[in-house]
Structure 1
Amino acid sequence: MDVPVASAIKNSYELLPRQMKVVARWSLDHPTEVALLSMREQARRAGVPPATLTRFAKRLGFDGFNELKEMFADSIRERPKSFAGRAEELTARREAEGDGALIGDIIKALGGHLSELAQPSAIKALAGAADLMVESRHIFCIGLRSSFPAAHLMHYVGSLLGSPTILIDGIGGTANDALRIVTPRDALLAVTVAPYSRYTMQVAEFAVSRGVKLIGLTDSELSPITKISEIVIRVPTEMPSLVHTMTPAFAAVECLVGLIAAKRGSRALEALAANEAHLTSFDTYVLETRRMREL
């Protein structure tokens, strides 16, 4: 987020009272909503009293919340036109009834979240992460609960491309065993979203203490993983439904493996060909897979 006050919010976060921390996270994760919605509606969505928003703004040195809101509005107006239609604006939608309306809201939300991965800051983070992975001796991957599928996808597809991936999944209570071989030549992709896995943080902190390059795939600039990550890839998770989405995390991983494939070039093609030959020897699929001819 490019709002000028973002740094002040992040720097003061740890010293804020509990409810103000909620407002801080809301402000950084929903800049468009801060700019467009009323204070009362923002308080409702953030789950705090409206007065907390006023106290939060004054804590940052503003006369009131409207002054803070105007700063967010200025930042929104300065966005490149190519991003003007991002579905963050779904937060200003009218509440609708019926299955079709709910499905439409969900699809719009997903479209907005995915479009954020095309912003310059996200592209820079994804490209930097891919560079680290290509240069690493091993690529460790971890993600628990809803974050596990994204971590597994990185491990599975990365291995098809010939990347030396290791999934920290803990089968039989052996999760920690994989960490015995970590060195500064390795990278770790840690996928974690609120409420944030304690074990994922423990693994990340251990890896960083051994010099491993940490790539945090997470949902907020105030996620605990960001403090120790060399590169942070932010993936929004909020949805107009009861559960959060991991679709942007999947998309981010697919971007990473696409970049890795392109960077590995002929080595990736050779690895894919070897994998196809192996699967064919076991007659794995009903239909013959189409061989990738170029990257």
Structure 2
Amino acid sequence: MDCPTTSLIKNNYERFPRQMKVAARWLVDHPTEVALLSMREQARRARVPPATLTRLAKRLGFDGFDKLKEVFADRVRERPESFGGSGEELLARAEIGGDGVLICDTVNALQGHLSRFAQPPAIAALAAAADLIAEAKQIFCVGRRSSFPIAYLMHHVGSLLGSPTTLIDGMGGASDDALRSVGPEDILLAVTVNPYTRFTVQAAEFAVSRGAKLVALTDSELSPIAKISQAVIRVRTEVPSFIHTMTPALAAVECLMELVAARRGSFALRALADHEEQLMEFETYALKSGVGKNSHD
């Protein structure tokens, strides 16, 4: 949701006290819940005292939180989204409903997250990122911990399409070396979600300082890499569990690389054909019929 209130929050975010920043992130990232839930319940989910939400509302110029909530209620036109739960909540649901409830709740949450990619804001973000990547001289990919598979997928599929990609994986402690050549004609795809890995943020800041363009794959418009990027692909990570999900981030990269392939056109087709030829030369797969659509495995 993009409205004057969220813009006001983003513009003043860095000046908020620590707990108020947590509350501000909740408002920006969960507009549906802000419109529908009580202040006490929102405070519980945001993990801040209710008074923090009241103070934030007043700092934004409202008489109280109810007035702020009305702004969100006027603009929200979508169903409530699933939210993450604690380990205790997961155990309670399992005891009441069994395995099927746990699986269905998670699948339903993922369906909601994935459906967002078919909405105009997400399509526009993916298209903007694809434009930058398709024209880049070099493409660097970085992600740590649960974000690493996302960065690797981007690097791997990019290589199949003939894109000059470099995965910053830190092998042998050489993470810093990989960005030595980054410059104004290059792109860094940085993947990180709350609580945000320090190296990924540092790599993003370094690349931007060298004139490179940044594509941020992250969970909030207020994340430390979003505010310095040229394109932000926002993914949801909440599922009713004690972990966060990276499935939407994987889906986002798959959508993104489809767009990049379309932009690279015949060049991408030639690169894929060369790749298939090499796989056959090395007899990479046990089943020759597997070479083709599955050759990126």
3-state secondary structure, aligned to 1:193: coil
Q: Which residue of 2 aligns with 1:51?
A: 51
Correspondence 1:199-218 to 2 at 5 A:
199-218=199-218
Correspondence 1:42-121 to 2 at 5 A:
42-77=42-77, 84-85=78-79, 88-90=80-82, 96=93, 97=96, 98-121=98-121
Query: 8 Å contact 1:2–1:75 — kept in the other structure?
Result: no
User: What's the CA shift for 1:137?
Assistant: 0.8
Deviations, residues 158-190 of structure 1 (Å, cap 9, x unaligned): 101111111011101111222122121111100
Q: Which residue of 2 aligns with 1:25?
A: 25
CA pair 74-164 structure 1, distance change in 2 beyond 3 A: same
Correspondence 1:74-223 to 2 at 5 A:
74-77=74-77, 84-85=78-79, 88-90=80-82, 96=93, 97=96, 98-223=98-223
Deviations, residues 74-118 of structure 1 (Å, cap 9, x unaligned): 1113xxxxxx45xx4335xx9953222221111111111112222
Cα separation, 2, equivalents of 1:204 and 1:50 = 34
Q: Does 1:289 align with 2:290?
A: yes
Query: 8 Å contact 2:221–2:227 — kept in the other structure?
Result: no
Cα separation, 2, equivalents of 1:201 and 1:228 = 10
User: What's the CA shift for 1:289?
Assistant: 2.9
Correspondence 1:269-288 to 2 at 5 A:
269-287=269-287, 288=289
Q: Which residue of 1 aligns with 2:247?
A: 247
Normalised to the residue count of structure 2, the TM-score between the two structures is 0.91
Cα separation, 2, equivalents of 1:291 and 1:102 = 36
Cα RMSD, aligned residues only: 1.9
Cα separation, 2, equivalents of 1:193 and 1:90 = 17
Query: 8 Å contact 1:129–1:256 — kept in the other structure?
Result: yes
CA pair 251-152 structure 1, distance change in 2 beyond 3 A: same
3-state secondary structure, aligned to 1:268: helix
Deviations, residues 57-83 of structure 1 (Å, cap 9, x unaligned): 111111111111111111113xxxxxx
Cα separation, 2, equivalents of 1:271 and 1:89 = 40
Query: 8 Å contact 1:273–1:291 — kept in the other structure?
Result: no
3-state secondary structure, aligned to 2:141: strand
Deviations, residues 225-283 of structure 1 (Å, cap 9, x unaligned): 01211111111112210001111111110011100111111111111111111111121
Q: Which amino acid aligns with 1:165?
A: T
Q: Relative contact order: is structure 1 or structure 2 higher (C-alpha 8 Å, sep ≥ 6)? A: 2
Cα separation, 2, equivalents of 1:10 and 1:24 = 8
Deviations, residues 192-211 of structure 1 (Å, cap 9, x unaligned): 11111111111111111111
Query: 8 Å contact 1:3–1:71 — kept in the other structure?
Result: no
Cα separation, 1, equivalents of 2:17 and 2:180 = 39
3-state secondary structure, aligned to 2:269: helix
CA pair 90-191 structure 1, distance change in 2 beyond 3 A: closer
Q: Which residue of 2 aligns with 1:81?
A: none
**Structure 1 range deviating more: 161-170 or 12-21:** 12-21
Query: 8 Å contact 2:143–2:191 — kept in the other structure?
Result: yes
Cα separation, 1, equivalents of 2:247 and 2:76 = 25
Runs of 4+ in 1 over 6 A off after TM superposition: none
**Structure 1 range deviating more: 32-41 or 145-154:** 32-41
- Give % identity: 68
Query: 8 Å contact 2:8–2:60 — kept in the other structure?
Result: yes
3-state secondary structure, aligned to 1:204: helix
Query: 8 Å contact 2:82–2:239 — kept in the other structure?
Result: no
Cα separation, 1, equivalents of 2:105 and 2:67 = 30
**Structure 1 range deviating more: 281-290 or 62-71:** 281-290
Cα separation, 2, equivalents of 1:20 and 1:235 = 23
User: What's the CA shift for 1:290?
Assistant: 5.2
